[in-house]
Amino acid sequence: SIPSSSDAEQLPGEQHARSVLRESFLRCLLAMANKKIQFQMYERVKVEATFRASDIDVLNFQVSDLHTPIGVQKEALIRCQDVISFTFDA
Amino acid sequence: MQCGWPLLGPLQWMRYVNKQVKVKAGKDEERRGWLLTVDPVSASLVLVNFGEEEGRASVQVVMGHAVEEVEVLQEADEETTERLRTSFLPPETRTLDP
């Protein structure tokens, strides 16, 4: 993403903060792999699936056994733009 | 905090880490939890709620694009900070010391 400050003095601190936050987020994604996830999507849609992977930009999630109202989709990609939030038990 | 959440940047997001927050996202929906981290790429928030049982936690990730408002409720005490810090660490962290 775009640096929020062009101030050169602030840059190392900002980059450090960015790396700390990202590492923690990636560990969270790792912990999510192969877990049952409940997705809350727009229009009050709620679906459940087994989380497999995310791409680096967090644009798509690869999931298995996606429980949709018309049946179970063995493998699927979920567009992150369609998701409001998702939950799982760690 | 009103809107513009994805534009805040790492230094501002850092100020919300280890705080209990209330997040508005989607239509009138509200979520609460301890903020573990914010993904600097997607601005998504990771909220943790600890269960009664030791080592159990429910994790909620709110996508950055859906966030409407983030409000700080309280700061974490030492115990909560430690639980947050260790919640997703690999079981065995290899040390580089000889």
Q: Which residue has the tokens 């065995």?
A: B92
Does residue A58 sit within a domain? yes
What is the number of domains present in chain A? 1
Contact, B46 vs B58, CB < 8 A? Answer: no
Does residue A64 sit within a domain? yes
Which numeric CATH code is attached to B5-77?
2.30.30.100
- Residue A19: which domain range? 11-87
Which residue, A40, A28, A42, A17, is CA-closest to A89? A28
- The predicted model gives A75-80 an average pLDDT of 96
The mean predicted confidence, pLDDT, of chain A is 91
Q: How many CB atoms lie within 10 A of CB B24?
A: 18
- Which of A5, A55, A58 best probes binding to B when mutated, by most B CB atoms within 10 angstroms? A58
Does residue A28 sit within a domain? yes
Does residue A54 sit within a domain? yes
Domain ranges in chain B? Answer: 5-77
What pLDDT is recorded for position A3? Answer: 53
- Provide the pLDDT confidence category of residue A69 given band limits of 50, 70 and 90: confident
CATH of the domain at A79: 2.30.30.100
What is the share, in percent, of chain B residues with pLDDT greater than 70? 86
Does residue A3 sit within a domain? no
- Provide the pLDDT confidence category of residue B82 given band limits of 50, 70 and 90: confident
Does residue A6 sit within a domain? no
Residues of chain B neighbouring A88 (CB-CB closer than 8 A): 58-59
CA A61 to chain CA mean position, Å? 7
Does residue A2 sit within a domain? no
- Provide the pLDDT confidence category of residue B2 given band limits of 50, 70 and 90: low
ipTM score above 0.95: no
